[in-house]
Each structure stands twice: as C-alpha cells, then as structure tokens.
Amino acid sequence: MAIAITFLFSIILLLQPNLSLSQTTTTCTSKTFSKNRLFASCIDLSQLSASLHWTYDPTNSTVNVAFTAPNPNSNGWVAWALNPAKPSMVGSQAIIALHDSDGKIVVRTSNISTYSGVDFSPIMYDVWGMEAEQGEIGGVWVMSFFASIKLPHGTTKMSHVWQVGPESKSEELQKHDFGEENLNSKGVMNFASDGVNSGSSNSRLNERNVHGIINAISWGVLLPTGAIIARYFKAINSSGTAWFYLHVSFQVAGYILGMAGWGTGLNLGVKSKGVQYTTHRNIGITLFSFATLQVTALLLRPEKDHKYRKYWNLYHHTFGYTILVLGILNIFKGLSILNSGHKWEIIAIVIVGFFIGITLLLEITSFVRSHLRKKNLATITNPNKQDQDVQSGV
C-alpha cells in the first residue's frame, strides 16, 4: 500500500508542467518581490514595460495586487488605477508609489477627478496593506507597490489605467510624458482570469502545492506510521517478521516521496531567486540528510547477537525520532509559508493529534501486556508463590 501511494504521487509530480531548472523568460512570471510575496496570476501590460500580479479571492471579493514598472529616474513615480466607468484617467481610483520629503518611497491613493493635477485622497474602494519598494536592475530603476483591494461584490472585470512619471519630490508629482506608450497605457482587467501569460506563475503556485502535499504525506503520514509499526507491532508474537517488512515498506516509501518533495523544493528555490525561506530550507536539508543516513544504515544493520547491535539501535532510534519531530515541525513551517489558512493548519493539528492518540493508546496497551506477561512468567517460574501469598494474607 505504501509503495502504491508513493508511485501515485510520483506520477503526479512527473506530470506537473514547467519543472525545468532553467528560467529563460523575462516576463511577469520571472519577477520576484520582497517578503517572499507570490501571486496566483500575472500579466505583462501592453505599455511602459509594466506588469500586474494578483490573487483574487471570490469568497470576499478581495484582490491582492502588485504593480511593477521600470522608471529611468530613481525619484520617479508609478501609478495604477481602476476605473469603474471607462479606461480613462478622470474617474479612476489610483494607487500611487512616490517619494516623500525624505526621499523614502511611500504609497498614496487618489480619486482623480480632473486632468489638471492629482490630489491625494481616499478612493471608492477599501484599500489596505499598501507598501512599495524599488531597486536597480540592469541599470534601470524598477518600482513596485502592493495593496489589497475590496471590490464590489460580484465585480471582477473593469477598466484600468497605469502610468510612469519622471519625478516626485516631497510627494508632489511631475507630469508624465505624453508619448504613445503613456497615452495608450489603459485596458480592461478581469481578476477572475488567470492572466494572459500567467502559466508559469500558476505552475509555480501549483508546484508549491505539490511540494507541500507530498512532503506532508511523506514526513507527516508514512514515516510516523512506519515508526508506530516498528515500536508496537513487533511485540505481537503472532506477527512474526511481518512488522519488519511493513516498517521498511512505509519508511522506504516515505523516503522516496520525501526525496521527490525535496527535489521540488530545490526547483522552487531556483525559480524564485531572491526569495528565501531560511528556516524551512535548513530544516528540510537536515531532514533529508538524516533520512538518507537512516536508509543507508539499513544496509549496515548488524545481526541481533552482534556486539555492536545495541549501538546501531541507539543510533537508529535517535535519528528516527529526530526525523519525526523535524518533519512535523517543517510541515507547519510550510503551511505558514503557503498562507494556506487556519483550515489546513487545523487539519494538520488533527492528524498529528490522531497519531499522538494512537501512540498513547498503544503505549498503554503495550505496558499492560508487558505487565501481564511478567506476572504470568512469575507464576510459571514460581507456582508456589501464589499459595504462599494466600497463606500470608497477601
């Protein structure tokens, strides 16, 4: 059964598209942001070399966006706006990244009602989590901003415009150019779509999910099950050596699946340059290294009566329990990275609780069985002991 599970998920992994370790595109799918931000969809906008990234949540009509565009001026500004009426500057609800009097990049909003200028003001949509960043890439300054927007219920499609300006000192915007690109930087946006060229972005998101699923099954289900089999089922005399083969089957299956998960993690690291999950990565490397040592040690397992067998057992048990603890810890680290929500964290807690409950139950059963066995053995070896206890009033 364990081998079948491993085979199934290995096939799923192999069928995932775009798992190449090389990255040749320079589209929106290759862009990375600080704080390990990832978005489900993206699109390269038609003008100004800009791109829009977003994740839309239909349950609450909320969209998380990132707008990014190059700007030849390090003190420049960039803007992106939604217009519920038409693709025009007037009437647009704008989010603008610019520089304050200290030269710090900030984010402001504006309900643009005239062509004569921009006054910062609240817009008709609830907006929060606004942040901005900029950096020099290939000699060109690139500005990006992030925001969460509450859209009208059921509305996913509307006009949008975007712009790049030359300078913004003390939060005052200089007029943008009126070239062909500037005048044509407008279109219609559908947040319910996957984006024109978001295939690789979705692939990366899907690959993260596959990475999480197969590692959760490996380190969170198969390996703990194998450990439980080894600790408790070998005590059942009638099981013979069946427990051993079951134990090895689950552990090898978990290791193979864990190896696939480790590989997808490395691939994600290559695809997401500048994005680092240091703790999750370091635990993963340690985990896979320990698991490899465990599998290798199986080939060096001494016979039961060998003088070094007790040392091998100590090593095997120590590394085994360490792997279980690190595996569960890294599963929860991974869930926090995926921003999977409390539902999946609760499911993970329930599964861990189930294994802890089974372990406690089997531990009690094992203790009772051991106690009864010792009592029966004492009765057999000293049959007069019970009579003596009765006569003495014990």
Q: Residues forming the annotated binding site for heme b? A: 211, 247, 280, 316
Cβ proximity of 322 and 294 under 8 Å: no
Q: Which of 188, 171, 219 is nearest to 324 (CA)?
A: 219
CA distance 145 to 133: 6
CA distance 14 to 74: 44
What is the DSSP secondary structure assignment for residue 156, as one 8-state letter? -
What SS3 state is found at 159?
Answer: strand
CA distance 310 to 321: 17
Could you tell me the two tokens for 176? 């943008």
Cβ proximity of 127 and 155 under 8 Å: no
Residue 47: what are its φ and ψ, rounded to 5°?
A: -130, 155
Task: Please measure the distance between the N-terminal and C-terminal CA atoms of the chain and give it in whole angstroms.
Answer: 52
CA distance 183 to 81: 14
Residue 5: what are its φ and ψ, rounded to 5°?
A: -60, -45
Mind spelling out the 3-state secondary structure of 14-47? HHCCCCCCCCCCCCHHHCCCHHHCCCCEEEECCC
Q: Which helix (H) or strand (E) holds 275?
A: none
- Token match 């190449």: residue? 20
CA distance 124 to 122: 7
CA distance 71 to 67: 13
Q: Which of 165, 168, 146 is nearest to 67 (CA)?
A: 146
Q: Which of 46, 5, 9 is nearest to 28 (CA)?
A: 46
Binding-site residues: 211, 247, 280, 316
Residue 50: what are its φ and ψ, rounded to 5°?
A: -90, 165
Handedness of CA 153, 156, 157, 161 (dihedral sign): positive
